[in-house]
Structure 1
Amino acid sequence: MKIINFSKSISWRITIWHSIIFILILSLFSALLYITFSDSLNEEVDSMLVREGDMIAYCIEYGYSFSEIENHLNGLPVSIGIQKEEMYWQIENEQGQVIAASQNLHGQRIVSATMNMVDEKSFSWDPELNGIPLRAMSLPLLTKNKLTYRITVATYDRIRHVAIHQLRNITIICNFGFAAISIVIGWLISSKTLQPIKKIVTATNSISVTNLHERLPIEGSEDELQILAKTLNSMIDRLEISFAQIQQFTSDVSHELRTSLTILRGEIDVALNKDRSAEEYKSVLYSVMEEIVYLSDMVEKFLYLSTKTSDPNQIVSKVIDGIRLFEYVRNHLSSIAVNKKIELTFKTPETITFHGDEDLLRRLFVNLIENAIKYTPEGGTVAIHVTSKGKFAQIEVIDNGIGIPEEHLPYIFQRFYRVGDSRTRSQGGTGLGLSLCKWIVEVHKGTIEVRSKPHHGTTVILSLRHG
């Protein structure tokens, strides 16, 4: 049984992040609610105290006695949740002496502490009376800008403390409850969201070399997971094609090697079967040498294809002088053309440049022209015409040789493909040359096309970008 590492599980990481974000948002909301509710309660209590203090100041200004002031205040309504006996007041003279106070103070004094300014003439603070929390408000009474009395009004702060305490407890409990709920919901959401990925993983693990034809299921709407499945399917398509090409290539190489080795063994067996004349031994050696040259050429081209085509980024591109390039090709192939009595002609502009890898382009033109010479009878012609067409140069390699049947044209660029008996191993062909030519053209962002008719010759048309 496979043990899941929760620290590496995407489902758990999504769940944890979902819960953290949810808890942060909930905590911010709870803090905002707590602060807003506390301020609202403070404002309500302070407003009530200011009203009571203003009433005492009004009574003093109109000459009410202190007993009349208390009776008058007892007849006034106060805020809901506050009892009359929970209201306290005291009046101090300009020397700070208490000259009058509510009876429920029982001779005690509301002590001033650190005050907060409510408005221009009011201050609030939170004192205690016999361990009982109060909310107090101080209002100075001025006469001709001179302090005559200081009125202090206070109330038992039970309602505010109880409400705030209850609100704090409720928010804490709710936060823990919602955190647990968010973890469960986050896990369910992440599991549901990642379910298609689990299907993709299961399907991917089931695909191997023996069943590369199978594909991942594509379900649901056009979302990121469906795009992932399509991308993986495209990758598997390419792998299937590449694997089929490797199998085909391996089969072709094996066939070519087996054929050559069979020929070599047969020739040597015949030579060793009985004593032969020097001429017969020489004939066998020529035949063996022919096969060895063929094998050597095939291996050299095979290695070149393997190393060069494996990494196109290794190609070194630069501006190439086309006239010099074709001069090299002419010098390289002139002896072959002369030996076969082939007329080799080049028709090029005064100046022509290419942009690409010089070594690859040399090999491209040498292969194409050598092919044309190889399959053109003695006394024939091979012509190379180069013209400039906008951003591209068009190169035509024209011969009047044996030609290619139309049904073979779609396959001539495949590795090891050879056309019938007229283009056999006896002429030195490995079936790799045109495959390499096509790759070189494609890596240079060009095009290659072959037009041919049996006994009427072949024309290879290339289009390459100017330098």
Structure 2
Amino acid sequence: MTSISLRVTLAFAAVVTATTAALLVLGGWMLSRQMVRGIDFLNEAEFVELKDRLGDQPDALTPDSIKAKIGNHLIIDASLYYCQVHDSKGNVLFRSANLDGSYLPIALTLRRQDRTVAVKEIGDLRLSDLPLGPLNVQIASSLEATRRLLTDYYRVSGILLVCAAAASLGIGYGFARFTLRPVRLITETARRISAANLSERIPDAGRSDEISRLARLLNEMFDRLELSFQQVQRFSADASHELKTPLSLIQLNAEKLRAQVASDPVATAAVEDLLVEIDRLHQILETLLFIAKAEGGVLPIDRRFELLERFVDSFAEDARVLAEDSGVRFEVARNDHAEISIEPNLIRQLLLNLVTNAVHVSPPGGTIVLSSQAEDSRWTLSVADEGPGLPADQLERVFERFVRIERPGATARRGHGLGLAICRSIADLHNGRIYAQNRPDRSGLIVTVELPRR
């Protein structure tokens, strides 16, 4: 599908080109018409001169007398005019020498008329029939020069049309860019508005045109979206907080019950399972509370400068143990030396979640690769696995809460689908971003985190 800018540019160029072509064709027609009328005028002027030479008694003219009166004059004008004189019966009384063996078409009636004719051996002529008493004086001029001029005109017009089409494309592109600038501004602003930035709004120019009305409509929608998002955040935080107390009471009573049924192995096992599930619920509630606080911007973080190389090496030791326990190798492909401002415990938790997920999807004997790259103002770290990867439409969704995508070949495990949601919250707290993409060289997933160094 083509963009609106391209469609506007092409439409503008098409209109300009079509209009220019129509004007050039109209100009060619008018030029041709004016030149033909000019030839008719010159033919009539030649007739006036011949009429003066023929005298006031055309009835008495004979072929010899006509030749004697105008023959020499027509020899002088042979390059301009052809002349033929015939009577009312169609008998030719005189022909100019430049006609050679050709004849001009005889007029059926003695009346003034101008017409275009084709004469063999001569070509196209503009013929004027001019009555003189009982005679018809025919004066013709060649249209060759006119046709040559029109050919040159249309050749130049074609060049001008191509230039106009090219220029209209450039002008149309600039016009489209200028006209659609408010739409681009709306698009850029709307793209910046996310879960971490719901307060930004599209600038309103205060006009009453369609673009301003669209901006106001979108701002109203973002207001409702922000309110709904805040309500969801409050609900998550409130629900997590309110459920902690009754869950703690349930855990306390379960521990008392375990002591009371210690003599019954079956009952003891059931209580142990209950305590395990209660502990999982505790973890889920703590995670939800953490995410809600992070998204609400009320979670304080203690950022401090860390030596990047030392921090990654320290984490890599634990990651190797975790990977080897599952039959997977862990490698550090790149570890730049730099200093970065982070909350080390949160970043360690982020890396641990990424490696844990990578271990879960990696085949036995597979390799997990960590890369840490420091640039001028940014730290980029990535974790690549050799699992089956993800469908393209799930690469964004995988960072949402409670999303668990079972991939073919991945080891089945219990989880609540909050690990990558925590990673995104931690990245947001550091004013960074996290995204996933499938490996281009083989099957597998690369999760990349970009954080500012300061």
Q: TM-score, normalised by structure 2?
A: 0.47
Q: TM-score, normalised by structure 1?
A: 0.46
Q: Which has the larger radius of gyration?
A: 1
